[in-house]
């Protein structure tokens, strides 16, 4: 069953659906990166457009016209071009996306302090406390949609429901540029018509397990004994049973801590020289550690990602004795993880370095090494941060990175 075959809650001649008790909104921008990029290219609206770079990069976003040809986010650009050769390709403008995202989040904050961002382009809002001031939830949702379209020139879809889970399902069905209200009495019927893959926690492997049990719709899960689901899926089975009845007790959490900070680089050509990989890891480690310091966070675990020319990807991680935001610590750990792979001239297309297990710097006192001078590596990093803030990123860098051009693709990922 495709998403467009799902049945939205019915509307009657008497008016729109009853939104009583539906104070949770999920707002999701429509093809956000593509829509934002088209603000400067209005002549491309209504045509297939792909946001990405080069044949070796990946698709960041695509217009709905391009998606009809099978183009999807994170797809290799080479494949996207084959699927939709007539598409226009636009390079990403991350500064623009960040600016619009901040403006949209500021609009949310004017409605309610209970805003839980999930990414640059989507968030949950709890508007129960705003109903007396601004009107029913559906009215608030429509005001948000109108304000964002008028002020930012991009559209969004909104799900209005009593719980986060149902609101997110509804916003997905409302796309593009729509709104769906799921009244409290209709929640169970709305959820149980969906295929099992619609439930949170159901990936490809879990979907296969459910299919082997003969469970293909959410209604099938709802009417399966919890004990049976637990035997097959562990505690995840019990959680899926709750969702199958539309039960989701989670509240909207205004502040979400980053779980990881890191950078990836897709090379312009495959690299098989370990020394060159070390240079790239050094640059990524410095970038990752600098971003951690800027966020006032430290990480307990350093993670390495390596993607080969055939797109096979492996990850390795090591947990440190103490959390760190020191570039040298991150690099030495990432380098050791790479060297431990003992690769023999393998052709590599991407490497990534990530700090995980984040804690606030204020809660993780810096522990200096016994043989470290009074002004150690962290002081050097902080001095570089100050120089970068004044003269621009890259004004001060290790000698081994002089002459190294910027990477083809570099991203900071957050949940």
Assigned domain for 307 exists: yes
Sheet holding 88-90, edge to edge: 61-62, 49-51, 88-90
Assigned domain for 114 exists: yes
- Which of 169-200 are b and which e, b meaning 16 or more Cβ less than 10 Å from the residue's Cβ? bbbbbbbeebbbbbbbebbbebbbebbbebbe
Comparison of pLDDT for 25 and 98, the residue scoring more: 25
- Tokens representing residue 91 in the block: 């390079």
Asked whether residue 343 carries a pLDDT value surpassing 50, the answer given is yes
Q: Are 86 and 48 in contact (CB under 8 A)?
A: yes
Are residues 265 and 185 located together in one domain of the fold? Answer: no
Are residues 377 and 282 located together in one domain of the fold? Answer: yes
Are residues 201 and 169 located together in one domain of the fold? Answer: no
Which CATH number belongs to the domain containing residue 205 in this structure?
1.10.150.20
What are the residues facing 158 on neighbouring strands?
Answer: 27, 179
Which CATH number belongs to the domain containing residue 399 in this structure?
3.30.1490.100
Per-residue pLDDT, 152: 94
Are residues 148 and 173 located together in one domain of the fold? Answer: yes
pLDDT tens digits for 149-190?
Answer: 999 999 999 999 999 999 999 999 999 999 999 999 999 999
CA of 323: how far to CAs of 164, 197, 248, 294, 318, in Å?
A: 33, 37, 34, 15, 12
Q: Where are the alpha helices (DSSP H) in 355-402?
A: 377-391
Asked whether residue 88 carries a pLDDT value surpassing 80, the answer given is yes
Are residues 269 and 390 located together in one domain of the fold? Answer: yes
Distance of alpha carbon 80 from alpha carbon 73, whole angstroms: 9
Are residues 151 and 281 located together in one domain of the fold? Answer: no
Q: Determine what percent of the chain is predicted with pLDDT higher than 90.
A: 59
Are residues 113 and 50 located together in one domain of the fold? Answer: no
Q: Are 159 and 138 in contact (CB under 8 A)?
A: no
Q: Which of 189, 216, 234 is the last residue of a domain?
A: 189
Q: Which of 244, 279, 308 is the last residue of a domain?
A: 244
Give the 3-state secondary structure percentages of the chain, helix then strand then coil, rounded to 5: 40, 20, 35
Distance of alpha carbon 365 from alpha carbon 325, whole angstroms: 11
Are residues 169 and 25 located together in one domain of the fold? Answer: yes
pTM of the model: 0.66
Left if phi > 0, otherwise alpha if psi is -120 to 50, otherwise beta: which for 70? left
Are residues 293 and 159 located together in one domain of the fold? Answer: no
Mean pLDDT of all residues in 403-412: 44
Assigned domain for 14 exists: no
Distance of alpha carbon 189 from alpha carbon 387, whole angstroms: 59
Asked whether residue 121 carries a pLDDT value surpassing 80, the answer given is yes
Residues belonging to the binding site are: 28, 121
Are residues 281 and 404 located together in one domain of the fold? Answer: yes
Are residues 84 and 111 located together in one domain of the fold? Answer: no
> Could you tell me the pLDDT band of residue 400, with boundaries at 50, 70 and 90?
low
Per-residue pLDDT, 2: 37
Assigned domain for 255 exists: no
Which residues, 6 or more positions from 59, have their beta carbon under 8 angstroms from its beta carbon?
50, 51, 52, 71, 72, 73, 74, 75, 76, 77, 80
- Tokens representing residue 286 in the block: 């410095």
Comparison of pLDDT for 296 and 283, the residue scoring more: 283
Asked whether residue 311 carries a pLDDT value surpassing 60, the answer given is yes
Comparison of pLDDT for 276 and 393, the residue scoring more: 276
- Tokens representing residue 143 in the block: 């005001």
pLDDT tens digits for 352-367?
Answer: 999 998 887 765 544 4
Q: Please provide residue 44's backbone torsions phi and psi, each rounded to the nearest 5 degrees.
A: -95, -5
Sheet holding 179-181, edge to edge: 115-119, 122-126, 24-29, 156-161, 179-181
Residues belonging to the binding site for Mg(2+) are: 28, 121
Q: Where are the beta strands (DSSP E) in 81-203?
A: 88-90, 115-119, 122-126, 156-161, 179-181
pLDDT tens digits for 320-329?
Answer: 888 889 999 9
- Tokens representing residue 266 in the block: 């897709």
The number of domains in the chain is 4
Are residues 312 and 274 located together in one domain of the fold? Answer: yes
- Which of 258-289 are b and which e, b meaning 16 or more Cβ less than 10 Å from the residue's Cβ? bebbbbbbbbeeebeebeebebbbbbbbbbbb
Asked whether residue 413 carries a pLDDT value surpassing 70, the answer given is no
Assigned domain for 13 exists: no
21 SS3 class: coil
Q: If we measure between CA atoms, which residue out of 98, 100, 89 comes closest to residue 44?
A: 89
Distance of alpha carbon 313 from alpha carbon 293, whole angstroms: 28
Per-residue pLDDT, 367: 47
Distance of alpha carbon 410 from alpha carbon 347, whole angstroms: 19
Can you give the residue range of the structural domain that contains 230?
A: 194-244
Which residues does the annotation mark as catalytic? 122
């Amino acid at each position: 069953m495709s998403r467009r075959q799902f049945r939205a809650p019915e509307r009657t001649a008497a008016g729109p659906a009853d939104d009583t008790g539906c104070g949770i909104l999920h707002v999701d921008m429509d093809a956000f990166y593509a829509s934002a990029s088209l603000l400067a290219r209005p002549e491309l609206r209504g045509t297939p457009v792909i946001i990405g770079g080069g044949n070796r990069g990946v698709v960041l976003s695509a217009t709905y016209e391009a998606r009809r040809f099978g183009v999807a986010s994170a797809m290799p650009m080479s494949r996207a071009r084959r699927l939709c050769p007539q598409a226009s390709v636009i390079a990403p403008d991350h500064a623009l996306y960040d600016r619009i995202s901040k403006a949209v989040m500021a609009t949310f904050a004017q409605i309610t302090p209970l805003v839980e961002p999930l990414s640059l382009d989507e968030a949950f809002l709890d508007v129960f406390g705003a109903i007396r001031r601004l009107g029913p939830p559906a009215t608030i949702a429509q005001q948000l949609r109108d304000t964002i379209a008028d002020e930012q020139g991009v559209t969004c879809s909104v799900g209005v429901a009593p719980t986060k889970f149902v609101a997110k399902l509804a916003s997905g069905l409302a796309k593009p540029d729509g709104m769906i209200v799921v009244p409290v009495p209709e929640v169970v019927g709305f959820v149980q018509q969906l295929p099992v893959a619609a439930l949170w926690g159901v990936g490809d492997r879990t979907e296969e397990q459910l299919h082997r049990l003969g469970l293909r719709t959410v209604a099938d899960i709802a009417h399966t004994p919890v004990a049976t689901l637990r035997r097959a899926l562990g505690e995840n089975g019990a959680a899926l049973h709750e969702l199958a009845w539309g039960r989701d007790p989670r509240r909207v959490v205004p502040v979400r801590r980053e779980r990881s900070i890191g950078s990836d680089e897709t090379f312009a050509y495959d690299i098989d020289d370990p020394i060159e990989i070390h240079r790239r890891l050094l640059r990524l480690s410095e970038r990752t550690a600098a971003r951690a310091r800027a966020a006032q966070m430290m990480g307990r675990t350093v993670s390495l990602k390596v993607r080969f020319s055939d797109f096979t990807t492996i990850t390795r991680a090591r947990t440190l004795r103490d959390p760190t935001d020191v570039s040298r610590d991150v690099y030495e750990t990432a380098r050791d993880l790479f060297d431990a792979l003992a690769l023999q001239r393998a052709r590599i297309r991407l490497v990534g370095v990530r700090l995980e297990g984040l804690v606030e710097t204020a809660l993780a006192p810096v522990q200096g090494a016994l043989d470290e001078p009074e002004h150690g590596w962290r002081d050097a990093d902080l001095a570089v941060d100050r120089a970068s803030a004044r003269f621009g990123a890259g004004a001060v860098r290790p000698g081994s990175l002089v002459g190294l051009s910027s990477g083809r693709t570099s991203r900071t990922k957050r949940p």
